[in-house]
Structure 1
Amino acid sequence: MDGSPKRELAEKIAGEVVLSDDPGATLRKWRTDFEVAQTDLASQLDVSASVVSDYESGRRQSPGIGMVRRFVEALLAIDEASGGSHIRQYARVISAGFESDIVQDLREYSATIPISRFYDAIEATEVAEGRATTIAGHTVINSIEAITRLSSEEFYRLYGQSTNRALVFTEVTRGESPLVALRVATPTPNAVVLHGISEEDLWEHAPKLAGVDGFSLAVTEIGLNEMLENLRQLP
């Protein structure tokens, strides 16, 4: 399999399936992460959709190495045929040294864009204005996994190539944890988005903390998959 990032991703998927206590569930997770229908995967594998369903549900004996390899190659081939957006997304995360369950997307843009355009793309509402008006990239982070598993040095690497970016935290309840974590991670990003909550749900001290550190703060309730898809359309 050519291409180092693609190979690393293939090895990651295969390794997770082989080592999983529930290989079928892991197969299903990766298929749905790549937004591939069972019928499309079955067609690529030249098997019936019921075979894919049986593997994912555990009704069929756990797949052997050969089947896992075919599954991974089929999944990547389908994504490549439709533009390779998921391969690029995971390759960026892997090359930055993160697990995909911590960092769900990491991108640098070809040109800076207004923060307002970024917010429009993810249906976000700004609750505190920042000093900067543009960003040059974004990182989407599972807040619980990041805070519990990353060191301060690793947390800083979430900025990618520059702090001129937006950090989007998912799995947020009120916003205390990510905003407190940002207080010790200097410098701060240009924008922070708390995903999955409304302005009414927001921690009451959040806008003030954002104001002290000078970054724009916003909230959004858009679905995660829709948000990630919209972010793929940015330059």
Structure 2
Amino acid sequence: MAERATREALAEKIAGEITLSSDPGATLRKWRTDFDVSQTRLAQELDVSSSVISDYESGRRESPGIGVVRRLVTGLLSIDERRGGERIRQYGRVLSAGFESDVVYDLREYATARPIAEVFRRVDATQITSGNHDRISGHTVIDSIRAITRLSSEEFIRLYGQSTNRALVFTGVTRGESPLVALRVVNPTPNAVILHGIEPADLWDHAADLARIDGYSLAVTTMSIDSMLDELGTIE
């Protein structure tokens, strides 16, 4: 997807979500924080006081009209472009792969294969088991519940992007049972799996056994989603 088309598609998506939301302020806040833009920075971009942004997000002002929504969205995208456009590219990769951005947070291919151990270190992950491979060429960050409940088996395979030589990162995990069982019906399996939001002590008892059977490296991390996406985004 060309850069301009990506921006237009993303702008339309954000504007549509805010306009149609039952809580437009909360939806605006979600997208602003996704882009790592403070209320003050967005207010500066739009040449308004930060209280205006705060009032919209808290519901103290009536729901913004389409003109205001368009300005808010344009402001977010313009800020990101001046920072290098990484968030726009990130969502572009997800949209190009045919996924909704609330299911897949990021889908990336690396220029060269990287050691799995390096990727684990970047996201402060604790390795549970080692697999049959020691390198990966990309990653996909997934909302585990939405992926499992909304994706078909064919769509699930598309999470691999160009290759299974990658890490699948499942967020919103409580024990790890659901995503690891779901992987059992997908063939082949990825080289590495990272379960986000869980400590080693809380991991499902059979998680390590399934990882060893299917031959992938397994790790867990409690790093915040935003920090994790930022760290993964630095891998080239």
TM-score by length of 2: 0.97
Alpha-carbon distance in structure 1 between the residues aligned to 2:49 and 2:199 = 43
- Alignment partner, residue 145 of structure 1: 146
Percent same amino acid at aligned positions?
A: 66
Secondary structure of the residue that 1:54 maps to in structure 2?
helix
Alpha-carbon distance in structure 2 between the residues aligned to 1:164 and 1:41 = 39
Alpha-carbon distance in structure 1 between the residues aligned to 2:200 and 2:50 = 43
Alpha-carbon distance in structure 2 between the residues aligned to 1:126 and 1:152 = 27
Alpha-carbon distance in structure 2 between the residues aligned to 1:206 and 1:198 = 13
Alpha-carbon distance in structure 1 between the residues aligned to 2:199 and 2:186 = 25
Gaps of 5+ in 1: none
Mapping for residues 1-235 of structure 1, pairs under 5 Å: 3-235=4-236
Alpha-carbon distance in structure 2 between the residues aligned to 1:39 and 1:220 = 31
Deviations 1:14-55 (A, max 9, x none): 110111111111111111111101111011111111111111
Secondary structure of the residue that 1:159 maps to in structure 2?
coil
Counterpart of 1:67 in structure 2: which amino acid? V
Counterpart of 2:96 in structure 1: which amino acid? S
Counterpart of 1:45 in structure 2: which amino acid? L
Alpha-carbon distance in structure 2 between the residues aligned to 1:101 and 1:68 = 20
Aligned CA-pair RMSD: 0.9
Deviations 1:162-188 (A, max 9, x none): 100000111111111000000001110
Counterpart of 2:231 in structure 1: which amino acid? N
Alpha-carbon distance in structure 2 between the residues aligned to 1:222 and 1:17 = 28
Alpha-carbon distance in structure 1 between the residues aligned to 2:216 and 2:16 = 39
Alpha-carbon distance in structure 2 between the residues aligned to 1:60 and 1:160 = 42
Compute the displacement of 1:6 (Å).
Answer: 1.1
Alpha-carbon distance in structure 2 between the residues aligned to 1:89 and 1:128 = 29
Secondary structure of the residue that 2:200 maps to in structure 1?
coil
Secondary structure of the residue that 1:14 maps to in structure 2?
helix
Alpha-carbon distance in structure 2 between the residues aligned to 1:66 and 1:223 = 34
Gaps of 5+ in 2: none
Secondary structure of the residue that 2:138 maps to in structure 1?
strand
Compute the displacement of 1:87 (Å).
Answer: 0.9
How many pairs were matched up?
A: 234
